[in-house]
Every structure is written in structure tokens, then in C-alpha cells.
Amino acid sequence: MLPDIALHRPASLAAAVAGLDWDHVGYAGGTELVPALRLGVRRPTALIDLKRLPELSGIEEAVDGDTETLSIGALTTHRQAAASPAVRRLAPMLADVVAHVGNVRVRTTGTLGGNLAFAEPRSDLATVCIALGAGVDVAGPRGHRHVSVDDLIVGPYESSLEPDELIVRLVVPTPHDPGARYWKLQTMERPTLGVAIVPGEEGVTVVVGAAAERPVRVVVPSGADAETALDAFCAGVELISDMTGSADYKRAVLRHHLAGELLGRRAA
């Protein structure tokens, strides 16, 4: 049963952030929040409905000199992002990832803003956003600020948002190297291991998610040093054991996958 709880429907972003605090929390699709309310792990006295805020909607392309960015409103659902021609053209890895999040109910109602704000440690989206160097525009009573997704995700279910701040938009720099790719191991409803790979001038950026308390980023140099760097990373990265597999199992899968992807062979 859901507890009795007040519902506020602010008409503007300013009114929404003015009403937010620990006891008055925003909700979008409700895919994380409603189960948390049912279980009693979140006990706000009121919900602030974010779904009518136009500032949090829409997908736009913006060009600033040589830099092109994709600006995705926080209310955009996984399904909308996956179907967007702009996201598919400018950020195909992101489009592919959100097309495979959760199940059809989660993709239809769950939003990108809600995914990142909740800081669920098994988020595919956070892993990919960190690999792409994406950030979020945040609004609060003290004004607006921009935060990289790397700085947004602090730890399991912990973001760097203040209780009275909202994610307004996800901002993704584009274009991406055509070799950018994401792979996940998944046997249950959320991933066991997610690996984003983005080639760049200084080497290959690898971000490992779902298996650690928060996504872990490393740049693996190309050439002769790649294998040594890869071995050191795989040996040292702190992974967690859970019901989908032990940390040692995940480490072995990670090493095997990265050896195939970056060294062109499969590890023993």
C-alpha cells in the first residue's frame, strides 16, 4: 500500500524548486520512487509532480563554434530518447543503451533525469554518460549550475544534488568517435556489468558500471602499454559481489571482455 501523501503540481520551474526539500520530493515517471514509497525506504510528506514543467522537456541540438551538443530534457523517457532521430544520429551509443534499459514499462515511463538523479548503482545510463563526457544542467533556488555526470554520481543512491535542486537537462557533447560502444552482461532485470568504450586521441576511455559502487573510469593508452594498463586496471578495480555474481567472477568477465575489445584477443 502507498502511504497517504500530498501531491503538488507546480506550474513553473521556479515554483517547483521553491517547494522542494527532504520532505517534499520531485517525481517524474515514479518507477523508482513508487516502489521506494511502498517499501517505506522513502517517507516524504509530499510529492512534487515534475511532469508539467516545459523546461524539463524536449530534445534539442545546439551548435557553439566547433562544438555541437545534444540537450535532452530530464523528463524525456528512455523510449522517447531511443526513438529520437537527433539522439540516434548524434549519440547512437546512448540511443542504443536507452532502447535496452529495463522492460517496456520502465522505458515508457522512466525518465533520463530520474535515472541519473536516483544514482542507482546499476544504471547503464550513468556509465554511458560518464564515458561520453556528458553533464546535467541543474536548477535550484540559488540559480542554475552545470555538473558533469561523473561529479553527479557520488555513490549508491547518492547524487551530488541538493534536496531542493532538479536536473533540468542532460547535455551530451557530440559528435562521438564512431567506435564508441557499450556492452552489458545482464541475467536479471538490471545489469550485472556494463562496459562503455570510447576511443580518443590519448587512448581509449573505458567506464565500468553496474559492478561497482559507482561507475569507474580509466583511460587505457594505445600501443605497447595497453596490456600492462589493462592488467593493472582489472586487478585493482573495486567490484562488488551480489546475487548476480561474485566480484572475482565479474573481474574475470571484465578482463575477458576488455582483452577482446582492446587487445584483439580473448584472455585465458
Ligand X SMILES: Cc1cc2nc3c(=O)[nH]c(=O)nc-3n(C[C@H](O)[C@H](O)[C@H](O)COP(=O)(O)OP(=O)(O)OC[C@H]3O[C@@H](n4cnc5c(N)ncnc54)[C@H](O)[C@@H]3O)c2cc1C
From the number of C-beta atoms within 10 Å of its C-beta (0-12, 13-18, 19+), residue 6 rates as: exposed
Sole window of 1-9, 58-66, 109-117, 235-243 interacting with ligand X (rule: CB under 6 A)? 109-117
Residue closer to ligand X (CB basis): 50 or 82: 50
Residue closer to ligand X (CB basis): 18 or 267: 18
Task: Please tell me whether residue 37 binds ligand X under the rule CB under 6 A.
Answer: no
β-pair partners for 48: 8, 26
Region 221-260 residues binding ligand X, contact defined as CB under 6 A? none
Residue closer to ligand X (CB basis): 26 or 135: 26
Task: Please tell me whether residue 191 binds ligand X under the rule CB under 6 A.
Answer: yes
β-pair partners for 174: 68
Task: Please tell me whether residue 73 binds ligand X under the rule CB under 6 A.
Answer: no
Q: Phi then psi for 258, rounded to 5 degrees?
A: -70, -35
Interface with ligand X (CB under 6 A), residue from 74, 81, 172, 239? 74
User: ∠ CA 190-196-199 to the nearest 5 degrees?
Assistant: 170
Residue closer to ligand X (CB basis): 129 or 197: 129
Interface with ligand X (CB under 6 A), residue from 16, 28, 70, 94? 28
Residue closer to ligand X (CB basis): 87 or 262: 87
Residue 255 beta carbon to ligand X: minimum distance, rounded to whole angstroms: 23
Residue 199 beta carbon to ligand X: minimum distance, rounded to whole angstroms: 23
Residue 111 beta carbon to ligand X: minimum distance, rounded to whole angstroms: 3
Residue 182 beta carbon to ligand X: minimum distance, rounded to whole angstroms: 11
Residue closer to ligand X (CB basis): 257 or 262: 257
Contact (CB, 8 A) for 18 and 48: no
d(C-alpha 188, C-alpha 30), whole Å: 21
d(C-alpha 137, C-alpha 117), whole Å: 12
Give the residue ranges of DSSP H helices in the chain: 13-18, 33-39, 78-83, 85-90, 92-99, 104-109, 112-118, 124-131, 149-152, 226-236, 247-262
Length of the chain: 268
Region 112-131 residues binding ligand X, contact defined as CB under 6 A? 113-115, 117-118, 120, 123-125
Whether the bond between 175 and the residue before it is cis, its omega within 30 degrees of 0, is: yes
Contact residues toward ligand X (CB under 6 A) are: 25-33, 50, 56, 74, 101-103, 106, 109-111, 113-115, 117-118, 120, 123-125, 161, 166-167, 189-191
